[in-house]
Every structure is written in C-alpha cells, then in structure tokens.
C-alpha cells in the first residue's frame, strides 16, 4: 500500500493533496528529495523539509528523518545537502549527483507500504528521469502514481498526455489517474477533455479541486508566498534572496494585522512593523538590503529580526570558515542591535524552549550563528533543546528593534506578548494546533470533491518490491 502524488510542474497542489491523503489513509508522508529553504527539526535533532513536517503534524504524527531523506538548500555558494537529517556540507550539482547512487540505496530500503509519497517538480523530465528518486525510480519499485494538474495555469491536459508518452512503457501503466486542481467555472466544460485524456491513456479521472481561498497551506517556497490577514495594522516581511522559514508568519492570518512580503523600500512606507526573516545566506541578503536602499527606512521603523534576520541586525558578523560567505570573512551588519555574530561549524538543529520576561518562548532553531553580546541584556534564556537542559542566552532588544533566533516563537505565549508592545494581537494557537486545523479543513473540502474510493484502490494496488 502506497501512492505517489506527482505532477507536470511545481506548485500544482501536490503538497496539498498529499497532506489530505496522509490524513485519509492514516499513512506516512514521504519525499525522497526536497529542495527548500523552509525546514524543521525532528525530535532527535535532524533537519527535514518543513512541508513533510507539516504533513506529519497535520495527521498527529511526529516528524521523523526518514520522511525527507534528502533536503537541498541553495545557498548562493553551492547547495547545502542534508542527508538523513545531517548536513553533509555545500556541494556543486555535479558533486551532489556523484553521491546520489549511494544515497539512493539507503532511501530505497526505507520505503514502506504505508507511505503517501510526494514527488518533486515535474514527472518524466527527459534530462532528469533516471535521477528522479522522488517519482520515476519509486514507480520502478512498484508504487503507482497519480497526477495533480494545475488548470489555472493552462495546458493541463496537454502536459498530462505528454508525461504519459514520455514515460517508458515499463512504468507507464503505473500512472493510474489524474486530478484537476484550481478550476474555476462549470465542470461540464471539462468533460470532453477528460474523456479524451482517459481514452488516450490508462489514467482515470479522479475528481476536481475548485479554486478556493480556503485551500491554502503554509507555503513551501518563495514562489507561492501570499499576503495574510486583513487587520488594520500592516506588517511587512522583507523578501530578500535566500529568505528561509518564512512560513512561520502564517501566525498573522489570525491577528489584527495584515502581512505582506515586499521587495522594495518604498513598499514599507505604511509598515507598523518590519520583519527581517531567516536567510540561508546572511551576507548576500544583507548586501541586497543595502544595495536596494533599505537601510534608511529600517532605521525609522520598528523591526523584528528572526534568526538570520536577527544576525543581520547586529554590528559585525564573523565567518571564519566561509560557511555563509563562501570564504572566510567578517562584514558589518545593520548595527541596529548591540551584538556580534560568529558562525560555528556545528549547526544547531533543535526544538527549543526559552524563558523571557514576556513568558515562555517555544519554537525551533536552525542556525550556525552564535550570538556575542556587546552590551545590554539578552531577551531570553533558552533552557531546553530537543528535551535536553541547556542555558543559552539569546535575543536582543534596543528600543523599537528586536531580534531572536527562535523560529515559530510567535505561536507561543512569549512571542504573542512581545508583539503586543507593537500593538499587534496574535490569536493563533500553537503551531501544531494551527497545522492540524489547516489540514483538517483541506481534508474535509477535498473529501467532497475527489473520488477517494478510486484513489484508495490505487493506494492498495501498489506493492513495494523490496518491502
């Protein structure tokens, strides 16, 4: 029992459908390889793509390393490769692919018969097919697949037929069905095209997902970020290059603010709060801020920095191993907070708990930057990392400038009370509660539009060869 949720392109709705089917089958989410700057810690300190953690938590499961064996994080100086939760370092594409066969052997042996598999990008790309460990190679292992087609962009039926024709005959019959996503209008208008595709292939029509604003889950990458909330205050997130872990700002969907992602200083004129989010490359993101002319407006407005954004707000950033800049260097920050940052070889990946004057701050850390205080007092004391007791000072406040390293902190009591100083009221529950509610809503909407009996038969028909 297993199924692959695939498509002809990225951002077609694969993650959405996978989230719902993990809930329906009481299965396990799985994506062999994911390229994303949004990640999340497992309970034992491993790092996986956030969307697989989202799919797990949405069904009451604990995120585990095997759910996303390979996470690729572009850094501007190559690609950081995370394998089985552990950073392997920065590789060029050729260096990564030279190791893929070795990685695949362990991944292949971990595939189970209760998985809902999300493939990456488009299935059947001729230049990539033999290296596609997220879809094609798993079809060779006996797992059957369905396509999620984004009709809002056009070309859905042509791309589905093209994928079917491009797949070798040895796996073509594993492509069992298709779902039409983001449809607006009268479903009857699609009937001729649906019948045509069914007659030309062995795929079965499995239902339609209407275009619906309620069918929105936390964004996986920057190509599908969108504004959130409709309150009277304005919060602007600066979307610089290599922005990471920005899905934590879904907390503003339930608030008295509206949140926008912006790329120009002029867009910040009405901001009541500016957020500098996490970044995979502080040096490039900082250079972009300065070159685009953000410095002046950041000095006039309240600013919250999270992780990499917090580091950028400091005085000096020291990178003795070239982990951020690509070569050993030190560079000046925005000098908004009285801290320095030093990047260490060892990477902190943890579910974290801290104490502050605002209350408990709960979230997660994914960073190499260590905070060094020049003056002032820390904002919080981190007391637990992955359930182990620690004493790590973190965060800083200098008037209207605030920063901390803990992602997801705004879903906790301390984070909510901190933002009250800026007039912002957050009404969201914990991140686990909000994810569960989101997936529950998606599942109940899709349950009414998809042929779940037919999808379940495909799920039951898959027989993983080595299981």
Q: What is the pLDDT of residues 262-315, one digit of tens each?
A: 999 999 999 999 999 999 999 999 999 999 999 999 999 999 999 999 999 999
Contact 205, 231 (CB under 8 A): no
Residue with tokens 């498509």: 7
Q: Taking the model in full, what pTM does it have?
A: 0.95
Contact 274, 303 (CB under 8 A): yes
459 Cβ neighbours under 8 A, 6+ residues apart? 1, 2, 3, 21, 25, 27, 116, 144
369 Cβ neighbours under 8 A, 6+ residues apart? 282, 307, 308, 311, 317, 341, 342, 343, 344, 405
| Residues labelled catalytic | 307, 407
Torsion angles phi and psi, residue 443, rounded to 5? -60, -45
- Which CA distances in Å does 287 have to 130, 281, 293? 38, 10, 10
Using a pLDDT cut of 70, give the percent of the chain over it: 98
pLDDT at 234 over 60: yes
Section 52-61 average pLDDT? 97
Q: Which domains does the chain have, with CATH numbers?
A: 2-211+435-461 (3.40.50.300), 222-428 (3.40.50.880)
Q: Which two tokens stand for residue 62?
A: 């604990």
- pLDDT for residue 464: 73
- Which CA distances in Å does 322 have to 69, 283, 319, 429, 465? 26, 10, 5, 39, 44
- pLDDT for residue 227: 87
Q: 58-62, 87-91, 126-130, 170-174: which range is least confident on average? A: 126-130
pLDDT at 122 over 80: yes
Q: Which residues pair with 6 in a beta bridge?
A: 147
- pLDDT for residue 224: 62
Contact 143, 114 (CB under 8 A): no
Residue with tokens 């709705």: 13
448 Cβ neighbours under 8 A, 6+ residues apart? none
Half-sphere exposure at residue 65, Cβ-oriented, CA atoms within 13 angstroms = 15
Task: Determine the Cα–Cα distance for residues 9 and 12; give it in Å rounded to an integer.
Answer: 6
Q: Residue 267: exposed, middle, or buried by beta-carbon count in 10 A (0-12, 13-18, 19+)?
A: middle
Residue with tokens 């189970």: 112
Helix (H, G, I), strand (E, B) or coil at 58: coil
- pLDDT for residue 186: 87
Confidence of residue 39 (pLDDT cuts 50, 70, 90): very high
Q: Which two tokens stand for residue 88?
A: 């392997």
Please report, to the nearest 10 degrees, the dihedral formed by the alpha carbons of residues 427, 429, 432, 435 taken in order: -40
- Residue pLDDT, tens place only, 44-54: 999 999 999 99
Element (H, E) at 49: strand 47-49
pLDDT at 220 over 80: no
Please name which of 98, 118, 100, 145 lies closest in space to residue 49, comparing C-alpha atoms: 118
Q: At what angle do helices 14-25 and 50-57 cross, to 10 degrees?
A: 30
Contact 44, 56 (CB under 8 A): no
Using a pLDDT cut of 90, give the percent of the chain over it: 86
Task: Determine the Cα–Cα distance for residues 258 and 20; give it in Å rounded to an integer.
Answer: 27
Confidence of residue 78 (pLDDT cuts 50, 70, 90): confident
- pLDDT for residue 9: 87
- Which CA distances in Å does 37 have to 247, 274, 455? 10, 21, 31
Section 209-226 average pLDDT? 76
Conformation bin of residue 59: beta by default, left when phi > 0, alpha when psi is -120 to 50: alpha
Task: Determine the Cα–Cα distance for residues 167 and 361; give it in Å rounded to an integer.
Answer: 50
Q: Which residues pair with 87 in a beta bridge?
A: 82
194 vs 322, higher pLDDT: 194
Residue-wise burial string across 60-71, b where 16 or more C-beta atoms lie within 10 A, e elsewhere: ebebbbbbbbbb
Q: Which two tokens stand for residue 305?
A: 């920095």
């Amino acid at each position: 029992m297993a199924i692959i949720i695939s498509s002809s392109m990225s951002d077609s709705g694969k993650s959405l459908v996978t989230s719902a089917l993990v809930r329906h089958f009481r299965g396990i989410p799985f994506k062999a390889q994911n390229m994303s700057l949004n990640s999340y810690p497992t309970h034992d300190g491993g790092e996986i793509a956030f969307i697989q953690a989202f799919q797990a938590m949405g069904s009451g499961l604990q995120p585990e390393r095997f759910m996303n064996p390979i996470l690729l994080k572009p850094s501007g100086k190559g690609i950081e490769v995370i394998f089985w939760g552990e950073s392997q370092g920065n590789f060029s594409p050729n260096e990564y692919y030279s190791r893929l066969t070795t990685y695949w052997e362990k991944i292949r042996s971990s595939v189970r018969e209760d998985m809902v598999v999300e493939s990456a990008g488009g299935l059947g790309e001729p230049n990539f097919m033999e290296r596609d460990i997220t879809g094609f190679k798993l079809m060779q292992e006996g797992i059957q697949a369905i396509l999620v087609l984004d009709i809002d962009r056009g070309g859905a039926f042509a791309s589905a037929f093209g994928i079917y024709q491009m797949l070798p005959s040895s796996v073509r019959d594993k492509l069992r069905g298709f779902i039409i996503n983001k449809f607006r209008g009268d479903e009857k208008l699609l009937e001729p095209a649906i019948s045509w595709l069914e007659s030309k292939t062995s795929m079965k029509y499995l239902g339609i997902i209407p275009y619906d604003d309620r069918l929105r889950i936390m964004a996986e990458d920057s190509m599908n970020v969108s504004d959130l909330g409709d309150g009277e205050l304005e919060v602007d997130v600066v979307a610089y290059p290599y922005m990471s872990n920005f899905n934590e700002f879904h907390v503003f969907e339930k608030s008295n603010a509206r949140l926008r992602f912006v790329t120009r200083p002029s867009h910040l004129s009405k901001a009541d709060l500016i957020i500098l989010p996490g970044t995979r490359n502080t040096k490039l993101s900082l250079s972009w801020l300065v070159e685009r002319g953000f410095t002046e407006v950041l000095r006039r407005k309240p600013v919250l920095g999270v992780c990499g954004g917090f580091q950028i707000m400091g005085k000096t950033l020291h990178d003795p191993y070239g982990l951020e800049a690509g070569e050993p260097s030190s560079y000046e920050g925005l000098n908004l907070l009285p801290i320095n940052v030093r990047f260490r070889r060892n990477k902190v990946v943890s579910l974290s708990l801290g104490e502050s004057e605002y209350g408990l701050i709960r979230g997660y850390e994914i960073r190499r930057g260590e905070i060094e205080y020049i003056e002032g007092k820390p904002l919080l004391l981190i007391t637990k990392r992955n359930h182990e007791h620690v004493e790590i000072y973190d965060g800083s406040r200098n008037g209207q400038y605030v920063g901390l390293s803990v992602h997801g902190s705004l879903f906790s009591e301390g984070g909510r009370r901190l933002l009250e100083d800026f007039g912002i009221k957050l009404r969201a529950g914990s991140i686990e509660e909000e994810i569960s509610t989101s997936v529950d809503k998606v599942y109940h909407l899709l349950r009414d539009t998809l042929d779940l009996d037919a999808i379940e038969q495909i799920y039951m028909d898959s027989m993983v060869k080595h299981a």
